[in-house]
Structure formats: C-alpha cells, structure tokens
Amino acid sequence: MSSMRLSDLGGKEIIGLDTGEKMGVISDSDLVIHPESGQIQSIILPGGSFFGFGKKREDIVIPWSSIVKIGPDMVIIQLNQQEIQVSQK
C-alpha cells in the first residue's frame, strides 16, 4: 500500500467484503494509532446496527489487518465474528 495522509481516510465508507454491507464512515477521531510507531492499529465504528441486526450495539473495533482494499471512496474489510471487539468506554 502506498503512503497516504490520515486526512485521506476521513469520510471513506467501510464496506464488509462478505456481505457488501455499509458499516459506517471513518472520521479522524475513529482511529487508534500506536503511540511509538505512529501506525494505525484499528478503526472504531460508533454504535448502531451491525451485520444487518437492528439492535443497538457498542462501538466496534476493526483491526487494521482486516482491511482488504482502500479505494478512493471506501475501505473494504473482511471481518469474521471472532475478530469483532467491543470498545470499552
């Protein structure tokens, strides 16, 4: 992956590869950055429905390793239920 600015990620929609579901939009405050290396570790999606369920959910942490492709308008991820982490507020 070529380099990009943090601001380039903001506003991109997250799409699940397996379901094609729109999962949320990235904002600059939704990223977890490693304090020493400066690398992005994960993306946090704010609460709402997830994987087609209408129930309210907690924030979801998506590991950076789950990203399949970053396009001009969207980020495609492949995430299974075991990788889903609920953010501790």
Count of structural domains, the chain: 1
Q: Is residue 89 part of a domain?
A: no
Examine residue 37 and state whether it is found in any structural domain, yes or no.
yes
Count CB-CB contacts under 10 A for residue 67. Answer: 19
Rounded Cα–Cα distance for residues 54 and 10 (Å): 25
Helix (H, G, I), strand (E, B) or coil at 30: helix
CATH at residue 72 = 2.30.30.240
Domain membership flag for residue 1: no
pLDDT value of residue 77: 94
Residue 1 has pLDDT above 60, yes or no: no
Q: What is the dihedral of CA 56, 28, 34, 22, to 10 degrees?
A: 40
What number is the average pLDDT over the span 45-54?
A: 60
pLDDT in tens, 18-33: 889 888 888 767 888 8
The reported pLDDT for the residue numbered 59 is 81
Provide the phi-psi class of 51: left if phi over 0, else alpha when psi is between -120 and 50, else beta: left
